[in-house]
Chain A
Amino acid sequence: MEGLKVSDASLIVYVDPSKSTKVSQAVLRELSSLLFKFNENFEGVVLAYDVQIQDERAKILPAMHPYFGVSLKAKLLLFAPKPNMLLEGKVVKLTQTSIHVIVLGFSSAVITDEDIRKEFKYKTKHGEELYASRSHKRHVIKVGTMIRFLVKSFDEELLHISGSLVPINTGSIRWLAKNMEDVPLIDRSTTKRGESEGDTVIQQHYTVVGEAYSWHSDPQIKKSKKRKIKEES
């Protein structure tokens, strides 16, 4: 599956003075607040982090509240779907007009009937709704099936994906895996090319993300005062 990447990030977390005895806890808390949200600086949704505090010393901000900046190196697992990437997900609902998929257990995707290739026909079999391929009888998509689909667009705020089943290399993953041999060679090569392109894309992102870290003083990463007050009170 595409859309996942690991980035090395160097970060500075500004810790409230009241948390000076529990720095690592405060840092983890701050990083956890990034989880499952799209972050423009990382250009992706943070799914997991592995963090190392770089220096025992921290720079103190001269201000009313002497926050101190703890510099970190973190490995971040990011989910950053882009149009034309291939994603995988589980079908949770299927109607005549749409297929609803959940990717990685948290991001919802929808494929409307216009984006389902004509090869698939909507049927009701034994009361169960499904899409079956006209050309390959065993290629069936129903609730519970893992499918591979193409990203049309990604709503970063709500982590909502609009997908498509038009390309020939999309559909039930199980069927695709078994029947790759049957698919004409041209198709396979496109798939492969697609994958390798994905790799280079990831490589590029590494560097981009690496550069993106000049935003240390971003207020988001600062321990917000408001939250601090909440914790104490």
Chain B
Amino acid sequence: MGAEELVNGKAEFHEMEEDDNFSDSELVYHVRDALSSVSSGDSDSYNQLVGVLHHTERLAPEDVALLVTSLKALSGAVSYIDIVLHETLLSSIFRMNMWNYGPDVMDALLELIISLAASNGKHVNSCLEMLVSNFTPPNSFVNMLKQPRGLARKDQVLSRVHSALKHIADLVPLAPSILCPIISQRMPIYDKEPLAVIYVENMLKLESGAIGEFVMSTMLMGLMDMLIEFDVEIGWEDILQDDSSKGIFQMELENVDEIADYDEEDGTEMFMQLSRELTRKSLGGSLIAEKLDSLMALTFEHLESCKDSGRLVEVFEHLLDSFRITVLTAYKSKFAQFVMFYACALDPENCGVRFAMLLADIFVREDYPLPFRMSAVAYLASYLSRANFLSAPLVAGMLKRLVDWSFEYCKTKGAVMDPTSHRLFYSACQAIMYVLCFRMKSMMDVAWFKSHLLIEPILNHKLSPLKVCLPSIVDEFCRQAEAACLFTSSEEFIFNYSLESEHSRAFGGIERLDMFFPFDPCLLKKSDRYIRPHFVYWSMVRPPYDDDDEGSIDEDVEQELDLDVSKMSITPRNSMAYWIQNGLEEPRGMPARIRPSTSPESL
């Protein structure tokens, strides 16, 4: 092909002008001569060759032909390219951006890159870096990505880049181990959303591709790290200040005092379920949140495809590692953990159980640092409460594990109430009560639950968990426990609504782990769409004291219920409509009637 194209070529090589018909091998020899003559001081032809590669703007067909020919000839002469002597040539090759060229040039360029990588170990790194830098388009191209033409170019470039990576890995088996650090280092944390999304698309494509076996762990870990990176950029304060300044909770809260409380403690959000409208208001402005949201949605899509190809369990193991190392140890991660949630939702029997086990294991492990153990139990509590795909026996089993641990703790270490030194114990108690607030009814249906669970001695113990844990949880728990006759001697528990929360503050420590409910409703718009069908909202929970109302709705009771629930939750206005629209099955635990939203219309 080279020969024909040269007929029209501009023929920067003066020798070529003399003859119309060059064979490919003649071209190769010509380039080899040009390369080797550099060492003897004659670099004219070499400079011309470098000049050809520098043409990037508005290439005429003959320029393209010349470029293709030069690249092909270079592929045949790679063994003559010296990393020092031909530095200018190499840097112009590596600087070529595939997004600027048509398919012919792309193919020729990649052929050269592959040959270079295979010819000499010294080039492998630069070749891989060049390919990775082509993961994302140049900035000027970003707007084109929305047009069909831009998308077509994206496909052209990326499919070639990935096949080249695979090709290089075939020829240089250790290439993936060089590729991994390059990809991790080049993660576009500070780039614009579309670039970050494309980059992650590429990472996931690699993960599920031919060399996935070697890069899977790095890609998934890298992805989670990136999510956490964005996650911590969005402070709890940002979200909450936004909200309270707009007075969004005023309608939901009973009185002004509580609003003040809310501001101070930045915590009453635990039961607050922010509607999607709210989400848009509070987080919509944040570019980081949008970027995070898109990446999360992309990750969810990827998890779905992993499930379809039967790789989810394998992928999940890496995610678990990543969770253990980065997410769990990040201070009150807000969003990244939903990746785990969604993976669990896709495969409750394997991933769902595995995740719960891991959290419980971390919690009981003595050699883990205390804050991580407290986080782990907070994750566990929130997960068991919010996941609608977990079976009642599993939840009961997990609760039993926590209760047994707490019982043992009381026996061995318990002396007097001391929120600070028994933090771990109180966090376990709070976790147990929190889960039961959500699951009381289904737990009562598990035959062995009531008889085998020694909750009462724990709560009655001198350590007084009821006085220390968050009052709102304790109140709700006691109400439900009474209604469900969980305790044999219920008279001992006096529902004191004015319970102090200084204790809970003390056991939560400065990290406020007492207020950490990682799987509270996801505030990201796109991500929430994936999570929603698998999620238990507070409004769906039917507490046992609500039992008698079934069927006949008593006005008074309803009102009372409304009042109570409004403390706990803001139901998305269109939650019912959502189920119907999407033809989804009603989630388990859905109450007979859905309370209409108390969110103000204006939102």
A interface residues, Cβ below 8 angstroms from B: 36, 92-93, 95-98, 100, 102, 105-108, 110, 112, 114, 155, 157-160, 162, 230, 232-233
Contacts and interface: CB of A to CB of B under 8 A. Distances in A.
B124 interface: yes
A97 B171 contact: no
Given A98-B119, A155-B122, A160 B329 contact: no
Contact of B173 (A108, A157, A232): A108
B118 A93 contact: yes
Interface string B108-129: 0000000100111110100000
Given A93-B118, A155-B122, A233-B329, A98 B79 contact: yes
Given A96-B76, A97-B28, A112-B79, A106 B173 contact: yes
B435 to A, nearest CB: 28
A159 B171 contact: no
Contact of A158 (B77, B79, B174, B325): B174
Contacts of B369: 232
Contacts of A230: 325
Output the residue of A36, A108, A114 with the most chain B CB within 10 A.
A108
Interface string B163-177: 000000011111001
Interface in B142-166: none
B220 to A, nearest CB: 16
B79 A108 contact: no
B157 to A, nearest CB: 23
B119 A106 contact: no
Contacts of A97: 28, 76-79
Contact of B172 (A36, A95, A96, A108): A108
Nearest to A101: B171
Interface of B: 25, 28, 76-79, 115, 118-122, 124, 170-174, 177, 325, 329, 369
Contacts of A107: 173-174
A108 B76 contact: no
A158 B76 contact: no
A157 B177 CA distance: 13
20 contacts: A36-B174, A93-B171, A95-B115, A97-B76, A97-B78, A98-B78, A98-B115, A100-B118, A102-B171, A106-B174, A107-B173, A108-B118, A108-B171, A110-B79, A112-B79, A112-B119, A155-B120, A158-B124, A160-B120, A160-B122
Given A92-B170, A100-B171, A110 B119 contact: yes
B-side binding surface: helix, strand, loop or mixed?
A: helix
Contacts of B172: 108, 160
B121 A158 contact: yes
Output the residue of B115, B170, B172 with the most chain A CB within 10 A.
B172
A9 to B, nearest CB: 23
B119 A102 contact: no
A14 B388 CA distance: 48
Given A93-B171, A106-B174, A155-B121, 20 more contacts: A92-B170, A93-B170, A95-B76, A96-B25, A96-B76, A97-B77, A97-B78, A97-B79, A98-B118, A108-B118, A108-B121, A108-B173, A108-B174, A110-B79, A112-B119, A155-B120, A155-B122, A157-B121, A158-B124, A162-B120
Contacts of A110: 79, 118-120
Contacts of B118: 93, 98, 100, 108, 110
A107 B78 CA distance: 19
Contacts of B174: 36, 106-108, 158-159
Contacts of A158: 121-122, 124, 174
A98 B115 CA distance: 9
A232 B121 CA distance: 35
Nearest to B368: A232
Nearest to A156: B121
Contacts of A100: 118, 171
Contacts of B120: 110, 155, 160, 162
| A-B pairs, 8 with minimum CB distance | A160-B121, A158-B121, A112-B79, A155-B121, A108-B172, A106-B173, A97-B76, A100-B171
Contacts of A36: 174, 177
B122 A105 contact: no
Nearest to B118: A100
Contacts of B25: 96
A231 to B, nearest CB: 9
Contacts of B79: 97-98, 110, 112, 114
Given A100-B118, A155-B122, A159-B121, A233 B171 contact: no
Contact of A233 (B28, B121, B124, B325): B325
A65 to B, nearest CB: 17
Contacts of A155: 120-122
A108 B121 CA distance: 9
B1 to A, nearest CB: 15
B25 to A, nearest CB: 7
A44 B122 CA distance: 19
A155 B125 CA distance: 14
A93 B121 CA distance: 16
B402 to A, nearest CB: 24
A139 to B, nearest CB: 23
B316 to A, nearest CB: 20
Nearest to A230: B325
A148 B172 CA distance: 18
A113 to B, nearest CB: 8
Output the residue of B76, B79, B124, B177 with the most chain A CB within 10 A.
B79
A233 B371 CA distance: 12
A95 to B, nearest CB: 8
Nearest to B124: A158
A130 B78 CA distance: 20
Contacts of B76: 95-97
Nearest to A231: B325
A95 B173 CA distance: 19
